[in-house]
Amino acid sequence: MKIEESVSYLLAKLTVAHRNLLEKSVTQVGLHSGQVFVLMELWKQDGQRQIDLADKLNLAAPTVNKILGGLLEGDYVTRERYEDDGRSTRIFLTDKGENAKALVEEKWTEIEEQTVLGMSSTEALIFKQLLQKLMGADL
């Protein structure tokens, strides 16, 4: 099999371009891509522990910790020790963090448009389903 024609190769290549697109876009609202994903989890449920965020985002604990450093510095979130368990901290959105949601959603529409550019809506749907399938197979 030609490596260049494998799904893995194409996916890896596409990844770089897409990550660049994502980063460039969210930079316009003052965020970085990793921060956006953490914020999304907090928008769904505020006050989560770092380990919860790491589990849901499928990221290693130090990765989440590092990203939170930036969000704390940018005043998007606050960190509080968890009374029920001294090992844990809970992360809470600030007003700024909550307000960022609308900005990100707006940007995301642009990102999505550029991502599926050149695909018909049918193709986009099929593509989405296949992506979900791959995600489910937890790779």
> Which of the stretches 33-41, 101-109, 111-119, 120-128 binds DNA when contact is defined by CB under 7 A?
33-41
Q: Estimate to the nearest angstrom the gap between the alpha carbon of 132 and the chain centroid.
A: 15
Binding DNA (rule: CB under 7 A), the pick from 21, 46, 56, 65 is: 65
Q: What angle do CA 36, 13, 139 make, to 5 degrees?
A: 70
32 binds DNA (CB under 7 A): yes
Q: Which residues contact 48 (CB under 8 A, 6 or more apart)?
A: 41, 42, 90, 91
Residue 56 interacting entry, from DNA, a second copy, none, C-beta within 5 to 8 Å by type: none
Binding a second copy (rule: CB under 8 A), the pick from 86, 87, 117, 121 is: 117
Which residues in the 73-92 window bind DNA by CB under 7 A?
A: 79, 82, 85-89
SS3 81: strand
Distances (CA, A) of 95 to 63, 77, 78, 79: 24, 9, 10, 14
Q: What angle do CA 11, 42, 84 make, to 5 degrees?
A: 125
What is the residue whose two structure tokens read 């809970």? 90
- Binding residues for DNA, rule: CB under 7 A, are 12, 16, 20, 23, 32-35, 37, 49-51, 54, 58-63, 65-68, 70, 79, 82, 85-89
- Binding residues for a second copy, rule: CB under 8 A, are 1, 3-19, 21-22, 33, 37, 40, 58-59, 104-105, 108-109, 111-112, 114-119, 123-124, 126-128, 130-139
